[in-house]
Amino acid sequence: MKTPKYLVPEDYMADPSVHVFDGTLYIYPSHDWESGVAENDNGDHFNMKDYHVFSTDDIENGTLTDHGKVLEVADIAWAGRQLWDCDVARKGDTYYMYFPLKDKNDTFRMGVATSDKPYGPFKPEEDPIRGSYSIDPAVFEEDGVYYMYFGGLWGGQLQRYKDNKALESAYLPEGKEEALPARVVRLAEDMKQFAEEPRPVVILDEEGKPLTADNPHRFFEASWMHKYNGKYYFSYSTGDTHLLCYAVGDNPYGPFTFKGVILTPVVGWTTHHSIVEYKGKWYLFHHDSVPSGGLTWLRSLKVVELEYDEQGNILTIEGTANE
Ligand code: FUB
């Protein structure tokens, strides 16, 4: 499947987190809609209020099942507004959905909701995860240990925190200062709290120096982790330079060395993805705003095959290539 394919042409879905459970592929996207909120740098126009889950046994030629609304703002006791990119992990017989949502003080926290089925519905906990902040959770499991990667600049509020503490005033590094890193944290046994203080996800250049704030490849949002040939691939969006990039490390905490661009800019401001192996092939799930005529808050899900060269480098995909 060398050309990308739109997955849900009848609705606007974005930020796909994708997992395979018992041989079926499940997609957990954000659900975009026209809420009428004006576009701004704070991301207020991404005013999503619920999630759907999709599944398929044949991503290339099959149809997707829409499992309907599985969680909504109205069900969450601590909710303010804006359900952004979520992810789901399985431990034992329980499926845990992790979601960023602004609380009643307009501060993003990470919530947890559970289900006994991968397609929900998900029942939210009464409170957000203690000590959680910012957006875009992505959960990676290895040998029964679960790691959450998270964080996002600007509207994602990461610049409001240092050493996991809220700052009195936000600070965004500039120029040759070190870029703000994503965070990674091990989840507790019960999957509902952090087991430790979140750590920085350090991305180094080829000389071993952390990427600086003026580097067009520095982290902005949309963390994802996958493993290929024994290496850990941390991938992410560069936000205002509109790329999906990746960096490779030897363990889930990093550091990671910058390797390259996965996807060149798509139509629409945001770019966001997941990378999954299914039935012997690797796929990039992502979104663009072509079907809505470029409206960045009305995005559409896509999938395209992802390939590596013999050294394990990801071959760059053209963001404006279409069906
Ligand atoms: O969908 C809202 C936000 O836009 C996500 O959390 C970001 O990653 C960006 O895609």
Residue 236 covered by a domain: yes
Check pocket membership of 221 for ligand 1, CB cut-off 6 A: yes
- Best residue for ligand 1 mutational test, from 44, 46, 241 (most atoms within 8 Å of Cβ): 46
Average confidence (pLDDT) over 250-264: 98
Q: Which pLDDT score, from 0 to 100, does residue 44 have?
A: 97
Residue 291 covered by a domain: yes
Nearest to 96 by CA among 65, 117, 72: 117
The residue whose CA is least distant from atom 2 of ligand 1 is 84
Residue 323: pLDDT over 80: no
CA distance 232 to 37: 39
Q: What is the CA radius of gyration of the chain?
A: 18
- The answer to whether 151 and 161 are in contact (CB under 8 A) is no
Interacting residues of 305 by C-beta distance below 8 A, sequence separation 6+ = 1, 2, 281, 282, 283, 284
Residue 323 covered by a domain: no
- The answer to whether 303 and 4 are in contact (CB under 8 A) is yes
Residue 75 covered by a domain: yes
How many domains, the chain? 1
Q: Which pLDDT score, from 0 to 100, does residue 322 have?
A: 76
CATH of the domain at 268: 2.115.10.20
Residue 314 covered by a domain: no
Q: Which pLDDT score, from 0 to 100, does residue 271 have?
A: 98
CA distance 156 to 237: 13
E strand or H helix that includes residue 114: strand 108-115
Residue 313 covered by a domain: no
Instruction: Tell how far the Cα of 215 is from the centroid of ligand 1, in angstroms.
Output: 21
Domain extent, residue 248, equals 5-306
Q: What tokens appear for 301 in the block?
A: 């899900």
Q: How many CA atoms lie less than 13 Å away from 246 in the CB half-sphere?
A: 27
Question: Taking CA 201 as the corner, what is the angle to CA 195 and CA 202, rounded to the nearest 5 degrees?
Answer: 145
Q: What tokens appear for 189 in the block?
A: 């046994």
Residue 312 covered by a domain: no
Residue 2: pLDDT over 90: no
Q: What is the mean pLDDT of the chain?
A: 97
Residue 322 covered by a domain: no
Check pocket membership of 84 for ligand 1, CB cut-off 6 A: yes
> Residue 45 — very low, low, confident or very high, per pLDDT cuts 50/70/90?
very high
